[in-house]
Amino acid sequence: MALEQTLILVKPDGAKRRLTGMVFDRLEAAGLDLCAAKVVSVTEELAREHYKALSDKPFFPNLIRYIRGEFHDIRKNKILAAVFQGEDAIKLVRKVAGATNPEQADPGTIRGSFGRITTEGQFENVIHASGDPADAEREIKLWFKPEEIV
Ligand code: UDP
Ligand code: MG
Q: Write out the chain's pLDDT in tens, 150 residues.
A: 899 999 999 999 999 999 999 999 999 999 999 999 999 999 999 999 999 999 999 999 999 999 999 999 999 999 999 999 999 999 999 999 999 999 999 999 999 999 999 999 999 999 999 999 999 999 999 999 999 999
- In the residue annotation, 72 being an active-site residue is answered as no
Q: How far is ligand 2, taken at its centre, from the CA of residue 115, in Å?
A: 16
> Counting ligands in written order, which one lies closest to the CA of residue 99?
1
C-alpha 129/C-alpha 10 separation (Å) is 9
Residues with CB under 6 A from ligand 1: 54, 59, 63, 100, 122-123, 125, 128, 131
Q: How far apart are the first and last CA of the chain?
A: 21
Report which ligand 1 atom has the smallest distance to the Cα of 11: 11
CATH assignment of 3-148, among 1.10.760.10, 3.30.70.20, 1.20.120.430, 3.30.70.141: 3.30.70.141
pTM of the model: 0.97
Find the angle CA(32)-CA(49)-CA(71) to the nearest 5 degrees: 80
CA of 123 to the centre of ligand 1 (A): 7
